[in-house]
Amino acid sequence: MMALPQRVRIVEVGPRDGLQNEPGELGIETRIGLVERLTGTGLAYIEAGSFVSPKWVPKMAGSGELLKRLHRGAGVTYAALTPNLRGLEDALASDADEVAVFAAASETFSERNINCSVAESLARFEPVLQRAREAGVPVRGYLSTVIACPYEGDVPAERVAELADQLYRMGCREISLGDTIGRGTPGSVTRMIESVAQRVPVEHLAVHFHDTYGQALANILASLQLGIGVVDAAVAGLGGCPYAAGASGNVATEDVVYMMEGLGIETGIDFPRLCQTGAWITEQLGRSNQSRAGQAWLAAQGQAADG
Ligand code: HMG
Ligand code: MG
């Protein structure tokens, strides 16, 4: 077990992974409002949208307009998903600072999510990575279903390691390991990361937990103990995945930041402003706040104001 890092970089995926799956109406103003409020919390990396087919994921339509109209914060990276060359060209035209390709560790999830096999997806990413390199835009690589697939069940850690290695060798600067349906525990997550870290340097790995089984924080702590220093999270625990029925949202950013503060790990994020942003977006969406820490902090503010 390694010493915990002094600093952790949080990748805020709420405006993408969160909002892509929200059932309610979602105006572009609300999406811009969310990204700008998140910018105000001190987050340095925000995944703002997605350049995918609007027929497949209607909620991410207009991501180009969002990126163009956004008031950007100095030193903040605004990223977007790009499944193919067309998505990449649109992202470049909107001045995305960074882009992400996304593959899966299980065949059925790959077919359902991006309509091609895992091997076909990697072949499709080659020109995306090449063009991004020419444009000087770094590429993140997501790998989904690293613990389990909603259609195929448990996914072997060795397969995850093999694919993470391929994405890394293809030029992804960081591989985000996604427990898409939140089935992992510190046991299975530790085994998976140990396997991947034999092939990809741990400094180039990130973790992406959905909190379906309530294990996300424990899984993050286990990941930090293995040397991981980048954690994906969504404010208010927004979202789910359109191609993974029953999967709940990402771990809530507020919960992650609260835990980091308790561990003495710097994130650069203002916890109260983050909680206020979580309250704002859940009110806009008319949905409940999935962050336990956020809810607790907001309730304590209410009591202080009443008392
Ligand atoms: P396809 O049908 O195989 O490809 O879709 P196609 O090239 O035949 O295109 C189909 C239609 O999409 C055409 O339009 C294209 O023009 C259009 P039509 O002729 O039918 O009117 N199209 C596009 N439109 C806008 N932007 C583009 C684009 N490309 C094609 N870039 C495709 C392949 C990948 C496009 C499709 O399957 C798709 O968009 N899938 C969306 C998948 C997605 O966004 N999933 C959610 C994100 S992944 C995730 O959440 C997991 C993650 O969080 C990690 C984790 O938790 O595990 C990252
Ligand atoms: Mg996800």
pLDDT in the model for residue 304: 80
Rounded CA gap, 39 and 46, in Å? Answer: 8
Backbone phi and psi for residue 38, each to the nearest 5 degrees, phi listed first: -60, -40
Q: Please give the number of the atom of ligand 1 that sits closest to the Cα of 20.
A: 46
Rounded CA gap, 301 and 295, in Å? Answer: 10
Contact 121, 114 (CB under 8 A): yes
> Phi-psi region for residue 295, left (φ > 0), alpha (ψ -120 to 50) or beta?
alpha
Rounded CA gap, 45 and 232, in Å? Answer: 10
Give the helix/strand (H/E) hosting 69: helix 63-69
pLDDT in the model for residue 307: 67
Q: Which one-letter DSSP state was computed for residue 154?
A: E
Rounded CA gap, 131 and 41, in Å? Answer: 32
**Average confidence (pLDDT) per 10 residues, the chain, 307 residues:** 92 97 87 98 98 96 98 98 98 98 98 97 98 98 97 98 98 98 97 98 98 97 98 92 72 98 98 98 92 97 81
pLDDT in the model for residue 243: 63
Among residues 37, 33, 31, the alpha carbon closest in space to that of 49 is found at: 31
Rounded CA gap, 202 and 227, in Å? Answer: 6
Among residues 94, 87, 92, the alpha carbon closest in space to that of 52 is found at: 87
Q: Residue 97 C-alpha to ligand 2 middle, in angstroms?
A: 20
Axis crossing angle, helix 28-39 with helix 271-285, rounded to the nearest 10: 170
Q: Is 125 in the pocket of ligand 1 (CB under 6 A)?
A: no
pLDDT in the model for residue 26: 86
pLDDT in the model for residue 254: 98
Predicted structure pTM score: 0.97
Q: Is 102 in the pocket of ligand 1 (CB under 6 A)?
A: yes
Ligand 1 binding pocket mutation candidate from 53, 67, 192, 231 (most atoms within 8 A of CB): 53
pLDDT in the model for residue 278: 98
134's CB contacts (< 8 A; 6+ apart) are none
